[in-house]
Amino acid sequence: MANPLLGEWTTPFGLPPFGDIADADFEEAVEMALAAARANISAISGSDDDPTFANTIEALELADQDLGRVLGAFYALAGADSNPEREALVREFSPMLAQYSSEVAANQKLFSRIETLWKTRESLRLSDEQQRVLMLTRRSFVRSGALLSGAAATRHAEVKKRLAELGTNFSQNLLADERTWSMSLAPDAVAQLPEFVASAARAAGEERGANGPIVTLSRSIIVPFLQYCPDRELRRRAYQAWTSRGANGGETDNREIAAEILSLRQERAQLLGYESFADYKLETEMAKSPERVRTLLMEVWRPAREAAERDAAVYQEMLAGDGIDGPLEAWDWHYYAEKHRKVAHDLDEAEIKSYLQLDRLLEAAFDSAERLFGLKFEETELPSYHPDVRTWTVTREGEHLAVFLGDYFARGSKRSGAWCSAIRSQQKLAGDIRPIVVNVCNFAKPMNGEPALLSFDDARTLFHELGHALHQMLSDVTYESISGTSVARDFVELPSQLFEHWLEVPEVLGRFARHYQTDEPMPLEVMDKLLAASTFGSGFQTVEYVASALVDLAFHDGPAPADPMQKQAEVLEDIGMPRAISMRHATPHFAHVFAGDGYSSAYYSYMWSEVMDADVFAAFEEVGNPFDPELARRLEDDILSKGGSVDAEELYLRFRGRMPGAEALLKGRGLSATAA
């Protein structure tokens, strides 16, 4: 049979023909797409015509479209529904793609054409967007080694290829540890858990083919288990398994991989003329320098640690009150925090979850997007890669804007965490190409026939990822390279974290937070308590996050550490890390930083963006209407539709008129003197 990945896809909206694709089809399709891309690059660089924006930059934008189409389908599968064949293909493709990238960057004829355009740009009569694309293209080539030659160029290509291999190995080791570990629960242990936790454990056991309920390393199972399990020994076993991912010895141990990655990144930065990898990485971000990042993180660290230490003192007393000698441990924190939250705010997580159905929260998120931006989501049967995936068409005033896929439940074939990706991005150069966007989460899957109930944190995750999706859907640019979320790393989280605020709008909760059995709305007193408790535990959450961001920065701001675990320990000691709190992502499972270099030296980005998202939502609060149509229009026009076509700081200044300070963030987290 013909390879379904090759030729035209006749599926609705150009979706990948998932139902017809065999894993073996990807190897042939990628090889052919790479060959076509190389031929296109050769044609551009070897042209006898004088370089123009159209025959060089625009041609380059289109050169590897077939490759992007095939890889969009493949990586959707590889991340969310992996198997040994797909994992092997990821390992095979990573060095191939790194090699192709290095070849393009090292193509001196191609770079010469780009340089000619750059030097004569004032006479080319380019639009602002074209000027931006030209600048970004040239900068990308320079940062990829285009100015290198001889042995330095050869070594740079070798380093990039090896880093691609190591990032893939890191990610697959982590997935292997997460997929293989589970802890069986005896009937008496299950009986002591709230029904929603017990149900999730039973569903996980069914999904894994176990003989009864189990705890897995899915965050949506293990965190509630740590909150509610009264058996301290079971909590310890689960917590230590969670935090030792990637550090269990043997073939899946990531510690040596992390050390080699850091060494190679430092070497790469120095080959390109930078003192450190942090200097290289942050050059293109809003923060610009390690010093500005560290200043922000430390400004937040001090009040967060003080808040966490106050909480630790309370939990230590509760531990002693239960007759347990010794200090509070990390596997105790969630348990006593939940008990304290229930007392301090009279909140019952099981009661809260009974009002937070996945289907109703999707309605809430879609309704908020409609009220803000006029979008309509219609669930439709479309090709998808797994039976759990749901599909929607997205329109505005009858015009098709996007296809949206939602993949919400944890399974053994899916890597942990939550993410948004585009199988296809918006652009206009090759026609009016509309995006195909995927949100992937790891919510606990209910037993057959039962509704999916979420924690409030899960609900935030749902809104967060849809915020990323809106950034893709509302993109309105010509060139794919600057489309949607193709922006500075410390700006990309602004739309996602901003959209989280609409979950806490009382009228949104009032309409959509309804009891899964009675359909009664969440009582006002429960809603008030929930919102009042929104900053509960923010000291802990901020400490575990900032500690990870500071360790990431320390890894890359200076010589690469020979022993990353020792460096991690030194950083945590220097900042006074509370003993009963761990980093959110310890080095061996810090996929943000080591599974690729997207967030390397840039994990701080979530907090940098939070400074802005708190300030942007404050604009809606200032006018007294979270759905103010004029502000929503400006938010789309000034930020969401622009992608990377304008410098991120300029976009923010267009909307808000000034850059914010950290006070709005501290206030929003309940960590400032004015928070009350």
CA dist., res. 302 & res. 587, Å (int):
23
Q: Which long-range contacts (CB under 8 A, 24 or more apart) does 157-162 make?
A: 157/99, 157/102, 157/103, 157/106, 159/264, 159/267, 159/268, 159/271, 160/98, 160/101, 160/102, 160/268, 161/95, 161/98, 161/99, 161/102, 162/260, 162/264
| Sign, Cα dihedral of 531, 537, 539, 541 | negative
Contacts with 334 (C-beta within 8 Å, 6 or more apart), sequence order: 223, 226, 227
Burial grade of 116 (CB within 10 A; 0-12, 13-18, 19 or more): middle
416: tokens are 């942990």
Q: Are 380 and 391 a contacting pair, CB within 8 Å?
A: yes
Annotated active-site residue in 349, 465, 493, 544 = 465
Residues in the chain: 676
The DSSP result for 222-236, as a single string, is HHHHHHH---HHHHH
Q: Are 438 and 402 a contacting pair, CB within 8 Å?
A: no
Q: Are 203 and 445 a contacting pair, CB within 8 Å?
A: yes
The Cβ of residue 627 has, within 10 Å, a number of other Cβ atoms equal to: 15
Cα–chain-centroid distance for residue 471?
Answer: 13
403: tokens are 């296809």
CA dist., res. 155 & res. 435, Å (int):
37
Q: Are 81 and 16 a contacting pair, CB within 8 Å?
A: no
Q: What beta strand segments (E) does 551-660 contain?
A: none
- Element spanning 424, H or E: strand 419-424
What are the angstrom distances between the C-alpha of 24 and each of 11, 387, 413? Answer: 20, 21, 18
CA dist., res. 202 & res. 540, Å (int):
30
User: Given the DSSP bridges, would you call strands 183-184 and 214-215 parallel, antiparallel or unpaired?
Assistant: antiparallel
| Sign, Cα dihedral of 455, 457, 460, 461 | negative
Our answer to whether residue 520 is catalytic in this structure is: no
Collapsed DSSP state (helix, strand, coil) of residue 314: helix
- Element spanning 443, H or E: strand 436-443
| β-pair partners for 647 | none
User: Given the DSSP bridges, would you call strands 436-443 and 399-409 parallel, antiparallel or unpaired?
Assistant: parallel
Catalytic residues: 465
